[in-house]
Structure 1
């Protein structure tokens, strides 16, 4: 599809974010199973649920605009997911707290990609006068920020100290 205007960019980036979320969902679930810290594991399970909810909302927005949410494949998230597997799941760790610290690192990298995606989509929707879309996407962005803050708190108030 040719990018002729901001609406085209908006649609393309919604599809890209949907793909990113789809890929990160499986990785987040795997990270949650691998986490040894109970609070971390629970936060990752909640994160997976949040990703799934965001996917449903983005899919509905795509449908509202007459496009298939599966119209793009996000190569950026593909790389982040590969990194998460290589560094947090497939790596050998001598200490489970150290693995938990790496799990947080890899998860937050994926989350920050989603934060950038949602932030851009909110700005595009606002500029295009798509107030309903903007409100839905802002809710997704806020929930993603909340999850990221929770992960930082888990890292700084326990996991990182235990790994040190």
Structure 2
């Protein structure tokens, strides 16, 4: 696809986000299975649900612009997902609390990619006068930020103090 206009770039960014979410959802499930903290497992389950909801919204927005949701492959998330697997699932940890701390760090890296993507797409939508799109994307952004804040609370309140004892 040749990107000529801001709208072309906007649709490309939506497709990138959709691809990023497709990749993040799988690794988030894997991180949940590797986590030992019940609170962290619950938060990762909520993360999967939130990613699915975001994907549904993105799919609708993309299709409303006569584009294919799978029209892009997000190489950025590909790298983040590989890192999350390597440092949260496959690494050899001698302490489960340290693994949980690593899982949170990896999950938050992926989340921050989503925050950046949703914020950028929402700004493009507003500039293009696509107020409905902007509203949907702003809600996705807020939901993603909320999940990130919740992970920080889990890290600060339970996981990191326990990992520091290892």
Q: TM-score range by the shorter chain?
A: over 0.9
The Cα of 1:21 is off from its aligned counterpart by 0.2
The Cα of 1:106 is off from its aligned counterpart by 0.3
TM-score (structure 2 length as normaliser): 0.98
Q: 1:35: which partner in 2?
A: 35
In structure 2, distance between residues paired with 1:163 and 1:16: 35
Q: 2:58: which partner in 1?
A: 58
Q: How many residues get paired?
A: 164
User: C-alpha offsets along residues 27-86 of structure 1, whole Å, 9 cap, x if unaligned?
Assistant: 001111111000000000000000000000000001111101000000000000000011
In structure 1, distance between residues paired with 2:63 and 2:8: 15
Q: 1:113: which partner in 2?
A: 113
Q: 2:12: which partner in 1?
A: 12
2:97 paired with 1:97: yes
In structure 1, distance between residues paired with 2:35 and 2:87: 13
The Cα of 1:5 is off from its aligned counterpart by 1.1
Q: 2:138: which partner in 1?
A: 138
Structure 1: 5+ residue stretches without partners: none
Q: 2:148: which partner in 1?
A: 148
In structure 2, distance between residues paired with 1:113 and 1:129: 24
Moved >6 Å (runs of 4+):
none
TM-score (structure 1 length as normaliser): 0.99
The Cα of 1:2 is off from its aligned counterpart by 1.2
Computed over aligned residues only, the root mean square deviation of the Cα atoms, in angstroms, reads 0.4
Q: 2:158: which partner in 1?
A: 158
